[in-house]
Amino acid sequence: MLKVRLGVGLGPGGGAAEFPGIVDELEAAGVDSLWLSEVVYGANVEPLIGMTHALARTSKLKVGTGVSVLPGRNPVLVAKQLATLAGLAPKRVLPVFGLRPARRDEWNLFPVPTGRRAAVFDESLQLLKLLLTQDSVSFDGEFFQVDAVSLADRPARPLDVWIGGSSPAALRRVGRLADGWLGSFVTPSQAKLHVETIKAAAAEAGRSVEEDHYGLSLAVAPHGIPPELARAAADRAPGVDPADLVAASWDDARRLLDRYLDAGLTKFVLRPTGPVAWSDFMRHFLPLAEALHN
């Protein structure tokens, strides 16, 4: 039987002042995982720094990026960072990468050659995975070149590297290159089609993605969908009813999760849509997580 797991994504209230207390609360409650988004101009902690802090002060909590931008970063340095983290906290590092920031005003912070972002992403991901899985890597690409290099602290158990995004190109990239998919702002029926697309691309590439490596980040808005989130949902899924993309109550969250389970997804990140009292969020989250785990 496939394992169903629920993690927590930080909302807009996940700044440095609140972060240690949130991490401690999640660890004490036995929450499976914490996920940190790439939001440069918001109050959120930077994902890799936040991961390091959270992993250092816990012993069980897994921590992921949901999602971090890979194009615009040197994949060799990213591989080194992930390898070090995996050595310090085995089996608790969950990297997920995307093509570009969710916020348009942050796109210029991750520069790549004009019109080549997707190509840079593909090459970065290939090199990153080689460095995390092979003893010696030589790579002569369009954007990156290395000659017989290795990461001395490469983890014994290879890291699973997941990808976000829901465009046809992103889904095919998951099938060709990644170990899993973390979607967002897709309906359950769309999610089912996306899983089929990923599996077909993987089969065409002569590989496979594990059945329990399909997930979704779901926003929970029990007090109403904030205007910024409504605009983001409309931008990502034009013409789609927001009720199929964002949970407007905790009861809606359970109903949507059941539909996503039927679509073939088993891993979920639930995130608040605005600043919240974490005790209130956890009061609803924990029973839901326990019910789905069982």
Within 13 Å and on the Cβ side, how many CA atoms surround 76? 14
Q: What is the per-residue pLDDT for 293?
A: 75
Q: What is the per-residue pLDDT for 13?
A: 66
Q: What is the spatial distance between Cα 8 and Cα 191, in angstroms, rounded to a whole number?
A: 20
This prediction has a pTM of 0.95
Q: What is the per-residue pLDDT for 227?
A: 78
Q: What is the per-residue pLDDT for 294?
A: 66
Q: What is the per-residue pLDDT for 62?
A: 98
Q: What is the per-residue pLDDT for 59?
A: 98
Question: What phi, psi does 65 have (nearest 5°)?
Answer: -100, 130
DSSP 247: B
Structure tokens at 204: 């065409």
How do the residues of the chain divide into helix, strand and coil, expressed in percent and rounded to 5? 45, 15, 40
Q: What is the per-residue pLDDT for 228?
A: 77
Closest C-alpha to 272, from 220, 226, 224: 220
Average pLDDT per 10 consecutive residues for the chain, totaling 294 residues? 91 83 95 96 93 98 96 98 96 97 93 97 98 96 97 88 96 98 96 98 98 96 80 81 89 96 97 82 94 78
